[in-house]
Chains A and B, each alone.
Chain A
Amino acid sequence: MAFFEAKDIIKQYAGHKALNKVSISVPKGSIFGLLGPNGAGKTTLIRIINQITGPDSGVVLFNGNPLVPNDITRIGYLPEERGLYKKMKVGEQAVYLAQLKGMNQKEATKKLKVWFDKFDILQWWDKKVEELSKGMQQKIQFIVTILHEPELLIFDEPFSGFDPINANLLKKEILELRDKGATIIFSTHNMGSVEEICDHIALINKSEKILDGPVDQIKKKYRTNTYELTYTGEFDKLEQVLNPDFEIVEQQKGIEHNTLTVKLNNGSTSNELLAQLLPYLNIVSFSEIIPSMNDIFIRVVNENKKI
């Protein structure tokens, strides 16, 4: 079931542990978010997957088999620190990078032209890289990463350096690749993008994995039983009306409507809350506040700090 698996990875640098018994399991055809603050160890883990560096202990399984050097042709990697030879021509360089991934020159050229056309940069084929805008260079890097149709794609902070339009284009392409069957590992500290496209996540902080699972389950797990309602009518003295199980988190006066945020404690239900409030208020809307991944991220990291 798991297409890619890392088990109990330990990686130690002199006097500093980069990864401490980290395990992740990436299901086939999913988009897996590798999250964590800067310096948590994400890039080290990714480099281990790419065989740029090796783990001190632990195993990396690719489709059930231990990782072998030849697997790099089945992996596409877009590093966070990425660039191109500035003095080299665009097309020539793309073909070179494709050849290093094991493609032959003819095949690479043919495929590259298709992708260049799709991304509307074909007219830059014979230009030098230094003449290109940063966005265009990023497009080329993306194309080179996926050109050899790898089964596993690894993007390290893919959206950094992209303008919103190109970021959207990239997102669309990533989802399309997933739909075509590729498995994708996605490393970032930008939580917004995680919610939109990731199916699974693992959260790494200070060299240890502190949370993982499917995104919807994690969200469910970290919900806080907090509800928000907008209403008209009575504003003050609501505390006296509600029984102690209902904790008022926040109350705001608006121009048209007031808002009230209430946390439900001790197993009380939303129906009970509504029943208590109805006699006093005219309710406009009522909804549960679902924590964003950003909130969960900050919360888990902070909880971990205390321990």
Chain B
Amino acid sequence: MNKIFIIIKREYLSRVKKRSFLILTFLTPVLIAGIYAFMIWMMLKDDTESRTIAVINESQLVEPVQSKDFTTFKYLNDTSFEDAKAQMEEKDYYAILLIPKNILESKTAELFSYKQVTMEVKSEAGSQLRDHIEQLKRSKIIAQANMPDLEEKLAATRTPISMKTIKFGEGGEVKQSSTEIAMAIGFISSFIIYMFIFLYGVQVMRGVIEEKSNRIVEVIISSVKPFQLMMGKIVGVAMVGLTQFIMWVILTGIIITIGTAVVLPGVDMDSLQQAKTLSELPQGAASLNADQLKMAQDLLGTFDFGYVAGILGAFVFFFLGGYLLYSALFAAVGSAVDNETETQQFMLPITIPLILAMYIGFAVAKNPEGSLAFWGSIIPLTSPIVMLVRIPYGVPVWELLLSMVTLIGTFLFVTWIAAKIYRTGILMYGKKVSYKEIWKWLRYHN
């Protein structure tokens, strides 16, 4: 029908042209990029506060901790602990590190301070001490053993293991997978769906209430069927949502690309330096770095085209399916009330499954194969959100199809019900509507 397109066009344009839409569309990517930039800055900046830590070394160890980056270890010889404590304020010591005489036996050192010491200072001092003592003991053993090249041989025994996760595909072929990225993709996409259902479902409801309170609805439905008006609104608003989403993705991409292109040359030096200092770190830290590198490679390996296209396709399907299902309900609610304050009693049955779906999603992320995951991703009120959490982990095709068919079927049924409520509701003015009343409307045959 030509007329439904006229309605979709109006619903779409009247929203897209609104100042609030433009502001939200252009400001959000700036905000996202801003947060992103802030996080990078925080990460690169790390901890740049200079701290001086007084060291009272009662042991035989020779300067077991070394100043590094912004942390300075100052050895106080011939100063008693009490004196050091008294000088703390005057000399601006951040903390006092007390290395006891019997550290080789007690394996304990103490760090005194007025404020809670930061993780970094604590681990820095701890790991340096540990490495120093380890090295000391090892050297002793090597010297005693009197074996040539023992040091190199021992170093060669160090074998960091990286755990690759590999998943069997449908045809039995192997796919590299990453649990972390699957989880992230699942969460982000299901959260986007959740947010959009809420944001735009409520927009549909508001639109219906607006038409009702403006008293324009009867003028319009003398020209088109109420169903056309309802669907036109739902589809029009869906397109507004998609437009906004696509704009966000594109704009955020552009801003981040430009941002990194402009800022990165400066940043690169810093991070290079950091990498250098990292490699200078003793083995533990270095292997951690290698692990991270490995994971990044895994992530890249996960990004094969079919996988991404599959997720994207599922995202679009469940995004639209979930939105259509819920917005039909939102439209029905809007039609039954005279103003927004009355919507609350009818909103509850809509918001509860939505919020529940999000919680099920959290649980399913931990166990994407359980029965909660299965039912949550089949029942259409929760499936758009729960299924999206599961999909990155891989879902049997038959389950996916069952979920999709159920969603489409329910959408059609709910729309039919909603249309019945809608067409009676929009012409009801000044009447407090109850569930009982709505039940009656369902049995009218117009």
Contacts and interface: CB of A to CB of B under 8 A. Distances in A.
A75 B210 CA distance: 25
The main secondary structure of chain A at its interface with chain B is loop
Nearest to B439: A14
Contacts of A72: 222-223
A97 B223 contact: yes
Nearest to A15: B440
Nearest to A154: B222
B216 A82 contact: yes
A27 interface: no
A99 B211 CA distance: 18
A87 B14 contact: yes
Contacts of B211: 85
B220 interface: yes
Contacts of A253: none
B214 A100 contact: no
B446 interface: yes
B86 interface: no
A96 B229 CA distance: 13
A86 B444 CA distance: 32
Chain A CB within 10 Å — which of B6, B211, B223 has the most?
B223
A83 B14 contact: no
A97 B210 CA distance: 16
B219 interface: yes
Given A87-B14, A97-B220, A97-B223, A52 B3 contact: no
Contact of B219 (A54, A82, A87): A82
B98 interface: no
Interface in A149-165: none
Interface in B390-446: 427, 429, 440, 443-446
Interface in A47-100: 47, 50, 52-54, 56, 72, 75, 77-79, 81-88, 96-97, 99-100
A144 B427 contact: no
Interface in B203-224: 210-211, 214-216, 218-224
Nearest to A86: B214
A140 B51 CA distance: 76
B10 interface: yes
A18 to B, nearest CB: 11
Chain B CB within 10 Å — which of A52, A100, A101 has the most?
A100
B443 A79 contact: no
Contacts of B427: 47, 52
A13 to B, nearest CB: 7
B219 A53 contact: no
Interface in A77-135: 77-79, 81-88, 96-97, 99-102
A84 B218 CA distance: 10
A79 B222 CA distance: 9
Nearest to B444: A13
A99 B218 contact: no
Contact of A54 (B7, B210, B446): B446
A97 B14 contact: no
Contact of A96 (B10, B445, B446): B10
- Interface residues of B toward A: which range? 20 to 34
B237 to A, nearest CB: 15
Contacts of B210: 85
A83 B446 contact: no
B3 A100 contact: yes
Interface string B1-44: 00100110010001000000000000000000000000000000
A85 B214 CA distance: 6
A52 B215 CA distance: 15
A141 interface: yes
Interface in B185-238: 210-211, 214-216, 218-224, 226
A233 B226 CA distance: 70
B219 A99 contact: no
B219 A141 contact: yes
Nearest to A145: B219
A50 B222 contact: yes
Given A14-B440, A52-B427, A100 B224 contact: yes
B209 to A, nearest CB: 13
Contact of A100 (B223, B429, B444, B445): B223
Given A75-B222, A100-B223, A100-B224, A82 B446 contact: no
B5 to A, nearest CB: 10
B222 A99 contact: no
A88 B14 contact: yes
Chain A CB within 10 Å — which of B3, B214, B224, B440 has the most?
B214
Contacts of A53: 446
B214 A83 contact: yes
Contacts of B445: 54, 56
Given A83-B216, A96-B6, 9 more contacts: A13-B444, A14-B440, A47-B427, A52-B218, A54-B446, A81-B429, A85-B210, A86-B214, A97-B219
12 contacts: A13-B444, A14-B443, A50-B222, A56-B445, A72-B222, A75-B222, A77-B222, A96-B6, A100-B3, A100-B220, A101-B223, A141-B219
Interface of B: 3, 6-7, 10, 14, 210-211, 214-216, 218-224, 226, 427, 429, 440, 443-446
